[in-house]
Amino acid sequence: MTQRIAVAGVTGYIGGRLVPRLLDAGYAVRCLVRSPQKLQDREWVHRPGVEVCTVDLNDPNSLQDHLEACDAAYYLVHSMVAAGSDYSAVDRDLAAHFAKAAKDAGVRRIVYLGGLGETGPHLSKHLSSRREVEEMLGSGGVPVTVFRAAMIIGSGSASFEILRYLVERLPVMITPKWVSTPCQPIGVRNVITYLLGALAVEETTGGVFDIGGPEVMRYSDIMRVMAEELKLPRRWIIPVPVLTPRLSSYWIQFVTPLSHNIGGPLAEGLRNPVVCRDHRILSLIPQSLLTVREAIRAALSKVVGNDIETSWSMAGPIPGDPDWAGGKVYRDTRQIGIDAPADSAFRAVCRVGGGHGWYAADWLWKIRGWMDLLVGGPGLRRGRRHPETVGFGEALDFWRVVGIEHDRRLSLRAEMKLPGEALLEFRLKSLDSEHCVLEQEALFIPRGLFGLLYWYAVVPFHAVVFKGMLNGIRREALQIANTQKKVQPA
């Protein structure tokens, strides 16, 4: 009989990679998600054995219903992105709810991925929170298998992105003392192998295991390897004692795509040595462990090949759309005819952001991105996961995809710092097989007087930005259509 496995956190970095491996291994998977739309473009979501369930982890009764008939459950939830500074309290509550629901539903075991670090009063808030989650998951009486990892190196991981951007952008780095802290990184493929292997190895039930790669290195040495793999000149690293975790977090926000809400806890945790003290897992789930250089090389190959399976930016909640029908909504609506099929125009629309830019006045977008960065927003640093395809919930610079209907509609919600709520929507209407109309609409709900002033301040730029964007999309759509005609067999 096929075992059914529940996975909470399936839209996150690790969960999104684990599910297809579980399916390949012959398990049925029940995905417990807050926003099912986030999975609609995953290749594996329509495979036999996949169930997608809309679940609120704050509701133990609903959670219990969805855990019924599941042999095991993975708990891969972390609230750092969504809850900000209150993430530890949120994580405790969610883990306690999950533990009770798993017990009441008859789940036989829980598998959790936590963080390495010696216990004690000097453990960072981030790592202490991971320990608390371990305790809460075990409070219901269901055996919990815990894997504790340090830095996970893989394309799209938060740690990898911090490392890559720091090394790429800073030939000279004035860093905190944590660059000399010992760390035992592990490749993401090795993490997935351990998580998957736990189901088949009964000896892991109820155990706590340190997992890491074959090398213990200082962070400064890891940066050196990253620079070599990026084919960059030597990076000069100057550690100083005066950079606090808070200052480090703002420095991370300034240089990398991560906000200080994420960078802060991660930077604080870097002061703790994270080295495996227990090596039992090596005999229980044997595998070939990637060295730091091998893991970085594998991750960079995915980045270069635009083959990033999951990314840190995909995690977190999607806020409900504001009520655009009520209150005062300011709109800028434009349209353009395109002598190309709707599918070509939609492909052009989906290329916005990231390295491709925004089709017009990119200098204005860059200025807006720097302004957003200075006030604590994401700016343009997040880019995009793939240069052409997008899915629900993905980040496009300082926008988030909140609606997508292929060849018909793409809706983006602004995540830059604004005195109000903003939405940018593209709608396509096919006229015939060779012609379509693209409508573009920017909507803004101001928040107070400053919101009104902001709208009227940016309106003069709309003719440059939005009109230029429409013309650029039309040019791109024509080019895509012509390319498609050339490759079609005669």
For range 123-127, the mean pLDDT: 68
Residue 339 pLDDT > 80:
yes
One domain, residues 90 and 20: yes
Going by C-alpha positions, the residue among 31, 69, 73, 67 that lies closest to residue 49 is 31
pTM of the model: 0.72
How many Å apart are CA 128 and CA 115, to the nearest integer?
9
**C-alpha gyration radius of the chain:** 24
For residues 138 and 236, membership in a common domain is answered with no
Residue 136: predicted pLDDT: 92
Burial zone of 488 (CB within 10 Å; 0-12 exposed, 13-18 middle, 19+ buried): exposed
Q: What is the pLDDT of residues 55-78, one digit of tens each?
A: 888 887 889 999 999 999 999 988
Q: What is the CATH number of the domain that holds 269?
A: 3.90.25
* Residue 355 and residue 408 in one domain: yes
Q: For residue 325, name the pLDDT band (cuts at 50, 70, 90).
A: very low
Domain count, the chain: 3
- Segments forming the whole domain that contains residue 44: 1-142
CA separation, residue 258 to residues 158, 220, 239, 379, 479 (Å):
8, 20, 22, 10, 34
Mean pLDDT for the stretch of residues 179-192: 91
Q: Which of 254, 273, 307 corresponds to the end of one domain?
A: 307
- pLDDT value for 321: 47
What's the maximum distance between 2 C-alpha atoms anywhere in the chain? 72
420-432 and 395-396 as β-strands: parallel, antiparallel, unpaired? unpaired
> Which of 266-275, 299-308, 318-327, 347-356 is predicted with the least confidence, judged by mean pLDDT?
318-327
Mean pLDDT of 419-429: 92
Say if 375 falls within a structural domain. yes
Mean per-residue pLDDT for 383-406? 85
Query: What's the rounded mean pLDDT across residues 403-415?
Result: 91
What is the reported pLDDT for 79? Answer: 66
Residue 34 lies in a domain: yes
Percentage of the residues of the chain whose pLDDT score is greater than 70: 84
Backbone angles phi, psi at 422, to 5 degrees: -130, 145
Asked if residue 107 and residue 171 are part of one domain, the reply reads no
pLDDT score recorded for residue 264: 58
Mean pLDDT score, 128-149: 90
Residues 103 and 137 in one domain: yes
pLDDT band of residue 273 (cuts 50, 70, 90) is: confident
SS3 content of the chain, % helix, strand, coil (to 5): 45, 20, 35
What CATH number is attached to the domain comprising 105?
A: 3.40.50.720
Residue 164 has pLDDT above 90, yes or no: no
Compute the C-alpha angle 349/354/357, nearest 5°.
65
Q: What is the pLDDT of residues 89-110, one digit of tens each?
A: 888 889 999 999 999 999 999 9
Q: Mean pLDDT over residues 121-140, rounded?
A: 80
* Residues 191-250: tens digit of each pLDDT: 999 999 999 999 999 999 999 999 999 988 998 999 999 898 888 888 776 656 566 666
What confidence category does residue 473 fall into, taking pLDDT thresholds of 50, 70 and 90? Answer: very high
pLDDT band at 271; cut points 50, 70, 90: low
